[in-house]
């Protein structure tokens, strides 16, 4: 019964989105008695994703592709096309900062915790294993790893 509720909730999300899009994107005009009025045609789509599908997708991603990585800062002061000017006094620290990319990497497993997705009581619960590094000015390269339990609660109006 719980699985049915989860599938129903996810299906409703996609149906509402599809109907709203279809109503505005495919509106037609018809002429009745000299008046022009809009006719909206609704579309309906149901997509059901269960835990097994999502976890199989994650498993295939970790098996056949590289582990996904995300930058820790969205904006960067460095231009990729330009080569930085390295002065002799700063040559070692500059080389170190290039070796320490500020990013976080999603991993398949860390410390016995496996990255997976579960649907529980209308929420999406996912333990996420990760590792990464951060280039902190005076501290140098700070490496970190661990896992976090993420919870996404779905609410509808």
Give DSSP secondary structure letters for 110-134: ETTEEP--EEETTEEEEEEEEEEEE
- Per-residue confidence band for 77, with pLDDT thresholds at 50, 70 and 90: low
76 & 93 share domain: yes
- Per-residue confidence band for 136, with pLDDT thresholds at 50, 70 and 90: confident
**Secondary structure letter of residue 72 according to DSSP:** S
The domain total for the chain is 2
Question: Quick check: 5 and 122 in contact, CB under 8 A?
Answer: yes
61 & 24 share domain: no
75 & 6 share domain: no
The mean per-residue pLDDT over the stretch 23-35 comes to 53
Q: Which tops the pLDDT comparison, 56 or 33?
A: 56
71 & 118 share domain: yes
43 & 56 share domain: no
82 & 26 share domain: no
pLDDT for the residue 14: 59
For the whole model, what pTM was predicted? Answer: 0.54
The mean per-residue pLDDT over the stretch 16-42 comes to 58
**Rounded distance, CA 64 to CA 39, Å?**
47
58 & 84 share domain: yes
Give the residue from 127, 153, 132 showing the smallest Cα distance to 143: 132
114 & 84 share domain: yes
Q: Which tops the pLDDT comparison, 45 or 129?
A: 129
Range of the domain at 152: 51-157
């Amino acid at each position: 019964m719980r699985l049915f509720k989860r599938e129903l909730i996810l299906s409703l999300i996609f149906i509402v989105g599809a109907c709203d899009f279809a109503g505005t994107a495919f509106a037609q005009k018809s002429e009745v008695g000299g008046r022009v009025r809009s006719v909206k045609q609704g579309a309906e789509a149901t997509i059901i994703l269960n835990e097994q599908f999502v976890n199989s997708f994650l498993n295939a991603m970790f098996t056949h592709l590289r582990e996904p990585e995300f930058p820790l800062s969205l904006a960067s002061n460095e231009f990729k096309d330009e080569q930085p000017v390295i002065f002799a006094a700063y040559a070692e620290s500059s080389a170190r900062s290039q070796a320490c990319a500020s990013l976080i990497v999603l991993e398949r497993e860390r410390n016995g915790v496996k990255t997976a997705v579960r649907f529980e009581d209308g929420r999406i619960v996912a333990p996420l294993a990760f590792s990464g590094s951060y280039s902190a000015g005076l501290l140098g390269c700070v490496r970190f790893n661990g896992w976090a339990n993420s919870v996404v609660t779905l609410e509808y109006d």
